[in-house]
Chains A and B, each alone.
Chain A
Amino acid sequence: MAIAKTKVTVPDFSLSPRIDQVGVEERASRFTKRSIKKETKLNGLKLVLNMIDLTTLEGKDTDGKVRQLCYKAMHPHDSIPGIPTVAAVCVYPSMVKVAKKALEGSGIKVASVATAFPSGQAPKDIKIRDTKFAVNEGADEVDMVISRGKFHAGEYNFVFDEISAIKEACGNARLKVILETGELGTFDKVRRASDIAMYAGADFIKTSTGKIQPAATMPVTLVMLEAIRDFYYKTGKMIGMKPAGGISKSKLALHYLVMVKEVLGEDWLNNEWFRFGASSLANDVLMQIAKEKTGLYQSANYFSID
């Protein structure tokens, strides 16, 4: 009986709620109308910076590039005191060891993509080995991709089982599940994929790999936040959210924070439960912070390359 209590009943995912596209887009556009100025803006910008997963996921990544990114993660802009670090550095599994060593003692997490990122087109056992490799190298967080092909073919059980298998392979590492919303097509499917991921054991759900357009948008993130809210009401379990790709301006990032606060509440407004997957966002946030501090519009020439 005790076991039965902690069990979560897995719903029929084909019955996931349908999404009113027009309504969602209308609602999402409302979040962009809030006015955030001065001190509040400064605090918001610092929070955004502290939520960033500074990311480099390129074929040309070298140890040196990763070390440079890690330095940037720890010292975003030393000439302004009181600037927080980013939340994590996100790299390919082969770069985890380098990043882990470079970030030693800083408290910044190492996130690794895994499971044949970005396509996810590999057999399950290879995906599991990929994940275990990343975790053994020292990854604190694993960003997996779902099998979109299987999902579109209606094989929800396959997708579900794969996510739970990866979750098991993660051990103590937190699992972020990338839905790649740009390939899912409709909000209905985004909602369904979110439900599958959360019931299968995701700690975070994430919009995109950043390799496919469109990546994160406010409406799609809203659909996923609402899925998280419904899941929380049903099970009492908090799930994190990570929009990734296409968020490169601080103003947009602040709109996302407004959305998180108004959909999920303050509990989610920290880097434990909300992240931005981005690379160029960090510099824009730093330039805006510098603008708030000095009153001068800034130039990219005075900020480190990332």
Chain B
Amino acid sequence: MEKTVKKSSLTISENGLEKKSSTQRLEVLKTYKIYIGGQFPRTESGRFYQPENAAGKKLGNICLSSRKDFRDAALVARGAFGGWSSRAAFNRGQILYRMAEMLEGRKIQFIDELIQQGATKAKAEKEVMQSIDRLIYYAGWCDKFQQIYSAVNPVASSHFNFSVPEPMGVVAIIAPQSDSLLGLVSVIAPVIAGGNTCVVLASETKPLCAITFAEVLNSSDLPGGVVNILTGKPKELNEWFVNHMDVNATVYCENDSTVKTMMREKSAQNLKRVFFYESVKWDSEAGQSPYYIMDTQEIKTTWHPVENIAGAGGGY
């Protein structure tokens, strides 16, 4: 009995009004706006779509972003890069930790949205907890990975020679379609932990958490423009994510071989790095690793002239 009532409350009739009795409240369908430069504008194109869950319930009004939204986002991401990359690594860690705190505070909303998008309660809870933990994980790595992946190199001449990782710049990310929150967090966190800025295209079918996550970002000390989140169809935007000359790396999380080939080809135009995370299980241990941070780092080697170290009996 109760089950049928529940089901009917999810059904929407042709004229958009719920079929239930006249006393039932008409639900407000939220318009989820995109996140660019710390602001929540509507898409420049004015288009939107209404994804539905398995039960056929409309999830919300979601912006169908255009290439111009991507252009705007890439521009502010570039603008934010200087400040973000030159922040103390420790401070970046603090901000990632703050993001986790804010996410913790709003976990009920995320669980609710994941359930709306079709997850079971248990699965939704697990995904949110894992997302929070993942942010903490990368918050910790912010000022540590450099020490592990840096090196003082042995050279034959009178030079102090060392190599350190440096952020690449603007990273364009096409987030996983399935793990709409955990996948999103898992691809954003390592990129910004390393000092990059990014433009992310959220899951097309499950976009609710992505924009709510943007609301979390917006209230967690993260400077505007470091993370920009768009919603829309990967089919429309894939090409622009690799075509832009001012994007330094692209991350792609699906397994479409035509798209991957296209990405490899187009990214050669400005030698941007391309990473395919197609078979990563984001809810497993393999979903987190400092190597994800290192993917969007370049190694800079410095030759610093010094006195003859070897003559002084030094080791390097």
* Interface residue A94 (Cβ < 8 Å from any Cβ of B): no
Q: In the assembled complex, which residues on chain B have CB atoms less than 8 Å from the CB atom of A300?
A: 246
Q: In the assembled complex, which residues on chain B have CB atoms less than 8 Å from the CB atom of A296?
A: 243-245, 269
Q: In the assembled complex, which residues on chain A have CB atoms less than 8 Å from the CB atom of B74?
A: 297
* Interface residue B71 (Cβ < 8 Å from any Cβ of A): yes
Contact of A302 among B243, B244, B245 (CB under 8 A): B245
* Interface residue A119 (Cβ < 8 Å from any Cβ of B): no
User: How many interface residues does chain B have, given as a range?
Assistant: under 10
* Interface residue A298 (Cβ < 8 Å from any Cβ of B): yes
Q: In the assembled complex, which residues on chain A have CB atoms less than 8 Å from the CB atom of B269?
A: 296
* Interface residue B120 (Cβ < 8 Å from any Cβ of A): no
A302 to B176: give the CA distance in the assembly, Å.
32
Chain A interface secondary structure, helix, strand, loop or mixed? Answer: loop
Q: In the assembled complex, which residues on chain B have CB atoms less than 8 Å from the CB atom of A304?
A: none
Total number of A residues with any Cβ neighbor in B under 8 Å? 8
* Interface residue A299 (Cβ < 8 Å from any Cβ of B): yes
* Interface residue B9 (Cβ < 8 Å from any Cβ of A): no
Within 8 A of B (CB), among A256-306: 295-302
A299 to B71: give the CA distance in the assembly, Å.
11
* Interface contact B71-A297, CB-CB below 8 Å: yes
Q: In the assembled complex, which residues on chain A have CB atoms less than 8 Å from the CB atom of B244?
A: 296-297, 299
Q: In the assembled complex, which residues on chain B have CB atoms less than 8 Å from the CB atom of A301?
A: 245-246
* Interface residue B270 (Cβ < 8 Å from any Cβ of A): yes
A296 to B246: give the CA distance in the assembly, Å.
10
* Interface contact A299-B270, CB-CB below 8 Å: yes
A299 to B244: give the CA distance in the assembly, Å.
8
Q: In the assembled complex, which residues on chain B have CB atoms less than 8 Å from the CB atom of A295?
A: 243
- Shortest Cβ gap from B245 to chain A (Å): 4
- Shortest Cβ gap from A31 to chain B (Å): 20
Q: In the assembled complex, which residues on chain B have CB atoms less than 8 Å from the CB atom of A299?
A: 244-246, 270
- Shortest Cβ gap from B267 to chain A (Å): 12
- Shortest Cβ gap from B272 to chain A (Å): 10
Can you list 18 A-B pairs with a CB-CB distance of less than 8 A? A296-B244, A296-B245, A296-B269, A297-B71, A297-B240, A297-B243, A297-B244, A297-B245, A297-B246, A298-B245, A298-B246, A299-B244, A299-B245, A299-B246, A299-B270, A301-B245, A302-B245, A302-B270
Name B's A-contacting residues (CB within 8 A). Answer: 71, 74, 240, 243-246, 269-270
Name A's B-contacting residues (CB within 8 A). Answer: 295-302
| Extra A-B contacts (15), CB below 8 Å, given A300-B246, A301-B246 | A295-B243, A296-B244, A296-B245, A296-B269, A297-B71, A297-B240, A297-B245, A298-B245, A298-B246, A299-B244, A299-B245, A299-B246, A299-B270, A302-B245, A302-B270
